[in-house]
Amino acid sequence: MFNIDLLPPVFSLSGQFIAVNQATIWNFMPTWQPINLSSQIFYSIFVFIWGLCVGSFANVCIYRLPMARSIVLPRSHCPHCNHLIAWFDNIPLFSFILLGGKCRSCKETISKRYFLVELLTGVFFLIIFQHYGFDVRTAVYWMVVTGLIIGTFVDFDYMIIPDHITIGGIFTGLAFSFLFPSLHGVASHFAGFKSAFIGMLAGGMILWLVGEFGRLVFKKEAMGMGDVKLLAALGAFLGWQAVVFIIMISSLAGAIAGITMVLTGNKSMGSKIPFGPYLALAALVWIMGGYEYWLNYLQWLNSLSFIAG
């Protein structure tokens, strides 16, 4: 029988702790409200532009991290002719459109992914800001989203997730959870660190055990350690409740994608596909409101158990 008394702290819409069937529920929604419409528009435009700029930097990381190259020097340059890109040719989105997706110097085509990464980052930054407002979680989740975007596209290209993203994310998640315990809906620094540590262990151990089981059954590697470390980092930032949600959603999304690729002839049975992007997708769903659906799901399970009892 499913007992709602055992529910972990999750989030509601009230702005405060409230009691629901003896389960403590914390609001993950923002208390910030825009002063007026013009202020809301101004801040939204600013956040979107800031996200585009961060997305431009993310493109540098995606290109250079797998090759163990500095993300600071040299300056941005054409990947074909190595011509240094002038500042006016490096304006997110607009330069790509104005140049027709080509290098000004050699006229070679520049991947549309540069445009996509900038756009995605700007859109996600804006959604998170609209959801959380002027809150420490906004800045932290911007950082998480940037890391997920970098890790996703590197994983697509190389089937790896850089340690800068995963191990760096683990330590950053633990540190930020101690400094900002509200990330986990608690008040004390120790409780924040404890929640992050449990989330890290849950994320790493569950996925590692899945990988070991798959290796024993299929006699080959079934889960990369990059995926294990990524989920551990997400657990540190988001808590163990999010880990369960992420595993469920990412497994479903990965299965659908894998079956689709096999049916369309892009992959064969037994082919490897990167799992990191689906972990990232599920984490984004959680950050942008998935916790509310998770709460509803748990309450639905409880209602079924109550009826059955």
**What's the mean pLDDT in 221-241?**
91
- For residue range 43-78, list pLDDT tens digits in order: 999 999 999 999 999 999 999 999 888 888 888 888
Place of tokens 């689709």: 260
Predicted confidence (pLDDT) at residue 31 exceeds the cutoff of 90: no
Angle at the Cα of 184 (from 297 to 242), degrees rounded to 5? 40
pLDDT at 224: 81
Contact assessment for residue 4 and residue 23, using Cβ atoms and an 8 Å cutoff: yes
Upper half-sphere CA count for residue 22 (Cβ side, 13 Å) = 5
What local confidence, expressed as pLDDT, does residue 263 receive? 86
pLDDT at 250: 94
Q: Residue 129: how many CB atoms within 10 A of its CB?
A: 24
* 47 neighbors 129 (Cβ within 8 angstroms): yes
Establish whether the linkage from the previous residue to 74 is cis, with ω within 30° of 0.
yes
Give domain limits for the chain: 35-134
The share of the chain scoring above pLDDT 90, in percent, equals 53
**Confidence (pLDDT) at 78:** 85
**Residue 301 has which token pair?**
């399970």
Q: Report pTM.
A: 0.84
* Mean pLDDT for all residues in the chain: 84
Query: What are the backbone angles phi and psi of residue 51, rounded to the nearest 5°?
Result: -65, -40
Element of type H or E holding 23: strand 23-27
CB 122 within 8 A of CB 51: yes
What pLDDT is stored for residue 308 in this prediction?
61
Alpha-carbon distances, residue 242 vs 183, 210, 276, 288, 296 (angstroms): 12, 17, 16, 12, 14
- Give the pLDDT band of residue 232 (cuts 50, 70, 90): very high
Beta-ladder partners of 12: 27
Instruction: Provide the pLDDT confidence category of residue 92 given band limits of 50, 70 and 90.
Output: very high
Number of separate helices (H) and strands (E) present in the chain? 10, 3
